[in-house]
Amino acid sequence: MTKTAFSDQNCYFCTVANGEADPWIFENRSFISIFDTNPVNPGHALVIPKRHVASLFDLNDHEHEDYFDALYAVKRVIESTDLKALYEEMPGREYLKGRPTDHIEAVLKLPFLGNKPDAYTIGNNDGRAAGRSIDHLHVILLPRYQGDVENPKGGIRNVISERAHYQRL
């Protein structure tokens, strides 16, 4: 693993991008990827630039190219990983000792764990007002499964739930 040239020592995702935290599941020239240790659904992955850059809109030209390469490749990694084995192994990781593992236990109980994803939600809270808590870009690649929520219609529109509903005539 190579140390990144532009990192902030107080930033968790710089630590990850330096190979000092979560194990990488993918690396290209500009991005690395990890499985989120607070998974919302089986296979929940993060695609993170090596450079400490806050916004998707601040990526440079070669990062733009590498962004889609990373998304496509991480999708393939998600679909070829034994996710049951992943979540059985994850709570035993040294750096997670003493941290809550309820998200991991919850996905281990999901009836669709082990199924191929039926769809994806691809998301990025690009700024604090959008819910960002670490100012280093991390694109969420979230596998979706038939029946994972009661009514998926609207998808990411539901982040502002009172304005999520719409009707197309």
Residues within the interface to Zn ion (CB under 5 A): 8, 11, 13-14, 52, 136
Nearer to Zn ion by Cβ, of 52 and 144: the residue is: 52
Q: Which is nearer to Zn ion, 54 or 106 (CB)?
A: 54
- Rg for the chain, CA atoms, rounded: 17
Residue type, 127: G
Q: For the CB of residue 31, give the shortest distance to Zn ion in the complex, in Å.
A: 13
Cβ 55 to Zn ion shortest distance, Å: 12
Q: Which is nearer to Zn ion, 2 or 151 (CB)?
A: 2
> What one-character-per-residue DSSP string does 42-109 give?
TT-EEEEESS----GGG--HHHHHHHHHHHHHHHHHHHHS-HHHHHHHGGG-GGGTTS--HHHHHHHT
3-state secondary structure string across 32-48:
EEEECCCCCCCCCEEEE
Least distance in angstroms from the C-beta of 122 to Zn ion? 21
Helices (H) and strands (E) counted in the chain, each on its own, are 4, 5
In the complex, residue closest to Zn ion by CB: 11
**Minimal distance in Å, beta carbon 94 to Zn ion?**
22
120 versus 132: smaller Cβ distance to Zn ion: 132
